[in-house]
Amino acid sequence: MAKRAWWLLGLNLLIPGSAQLLAGDRRWGRFAVGSTFVLWGIVIAAILLFALARPVALTIATNVVTLWIAQLGLIFYAALWLVTTVNTLTLARIVKAAPRARGALAGFVALSLVVAVGGTGWAAWATGIGRDTLGSVFAGGFIEPPIDGRYNILLLGGDAGPDRIGLRPDSISLASVDAGTGAVTMIGVPRNLYNAPFSEDSPLWEEWPNGFDCGDDCLISYLYPWAEEHPELYPRAERDGSTPGLEAMKDAVEGVTGLEVQYTVLIDMEGFDALIDALGGIVVDAEPMQLGVNGGPVVGEIVAGEQRMNGDTALWYARNRYNITDFDRMRHQRQIQEAILRQIDPATVVTRFRDIANAGSNVVRTDIPQSMVGLLSDLAVKARALAIVDVELTPPTIDNVEPDYEFARSLVADAVAPTEP
């Protein structure tokens, strides 16, 4: 009887319904086994699709309808495993097994419930959170082709906070991603850049034909709040999941770099520390610095060398202003960006899924369509294996007060030009 119980419980864990086919209600067993084979078929097909066409697999996996179906399916299988396990426990007749085997059999049943029912239930829960997060962060729209073989995504770190009026981008970077290889070129644009130019087809051309040229009040980062006060220039922005400020920053960065910007990602720096904490911290090869605000007291320090930073320390490292130039801060922000790209991994996502999802929903705003998530995720996987090319449009290469934009655009063009195999 003990051997019989082990066989029934073991088969039920692997193939729910098999125990019923052998020793119970065969009609119910056929239904459960057939459902299990359907699940196996879906899993095998998904693995093959991921191996042969990863962008397609990721696009399907991040679709709202697919996630709804997946969540309902996982709930169904969790219930199926629960019912078949309880029924198999009855069929196994543990009370008739040898006394020394009963405890082990009961423990195996408990383990089966945790692994099968608990694991499937957790997957259903995580699928629901993922679906809601994707819907709240990403915009609507369709898959778009790259421009000249690249996807150009503007990354902005917003400095909104209780001690500030409005929002100004504290960090401005353009990520230009090769649509074939995933190779990333990061172009740093200083926030105190003067006279940002605009193309003739920009809504800003009529107002600023000579660029954003009103002196100290027209640094490129000030364009965001200025455009927010003139929403009539971008009447379709809200409908397209953007804002006038984001659209204006797109036009300015296009004029500076010569690259067409397809999407923007705005990260609220006030919540950035929560995202890094959700990832379990990041490892950074830090430069030494004292912490504080120019003119104020020193409130701490960061020592030189490789170290794991929590969210609070990483935010200080990226935004510190004590005896630090804007260009130093740009370099530190780039270190933080690259650390996140390099160090996020599937195990972290699985174990900290809810915290990452919540932090991402609160921190990130983007006009990237949800339909593009799979394709861009595939490129991100490729990018992890490649060196990131940095182009900093900062002094002494580019004078931020009297910039040579023709030279800046030539530097960018050289950096993103396709290389010979």
Confirm if 268 and 155 have CB atoms less than 8 A apart.
no
CA atoms within 13 A on the CB side of 87: 22
Residue 340, judged by CB atoms within 10 A of its CB (0-12, 13-18, 19+), counts as middle
CA atoms within 13 A on the CB side of 70: 22
Q: What pLDDT is stored for residue 310 in this prediction?
A: 93
Q: How far is CA 67 from CA 129, 265, 400, in A?
A: 10, 24, 47
**Which amino acid, one-letter code, is at 287?**
E
Q: How far apart are CA 260 and CA 101, in angstroms?
A: 70
Q: What pLDDT is stored for residue 162 in this prediction?
A: 46
Q: How far apart are CA 334 and CA 79, in angstroms?
A: 47
**Which amino acid, one-letter code, is at 152?**
N
Confirm if 56 and 371 have CB atoms less than 8 A apart.
no
Structure tokens that stand for 276 in this block = 């890094």
Q: Which residues sit opposite 244 in a β-bridge? A: none
Q: Cα-flanking dihedrals φ and ψ of residue 51, to 5°?
A: -70, -35
- Which is it for strands 263-268 and 150-158: parallel, antiparallel or unpaired? parallel
Long-range contacts at 18-24 (CB < 8 A, ≥ 24 apart)? 19/84, 19/87, 19/88, 19/91, 19/92, 20/84, 20/87, 20/88, 20/91, 23/91, 24/87, 24/88, 24/91
Neighbours of 162 (CB within 10 A): 5
Structure tokens that stand for 413 in this block = 């063009």
Q: What pLDDT is stored for residue 163 in this prediction?
A: 47
The answer to whether the bond into 396 is cis (omega within 30° of 0) is: yes
Q: What pLDDT is stored for residue 183 in this prediction?
A: 93
Q: What are the extents of the domains in the chain?
A: 2-137, 150-416
Q: What pLDDT is stored for residue 165 in this prediction?
A: 44
> Structurally, what CATH architecture does the domain formed by 150-416 represent?
3-Layer(aba) Sandwich (3.40)
Q: What pLDDT is stored for residue 160 in this prediction?
A: 57
Averaged pLDDT, groups of 10, the chain, 421 residues long: 88 91 91 94 95 91 92 95 90 82 87 90 90 85 91 85 59 93 93 93 93 91 92 89 90 96 85 84 92 84 93 89 83 84 73 80 84 92 88 92 96 85 48
- Which is it for strands 184-188 and 389-392: parallel, antiparallel or unpaired? parallel
pTM confidence score: 0.77
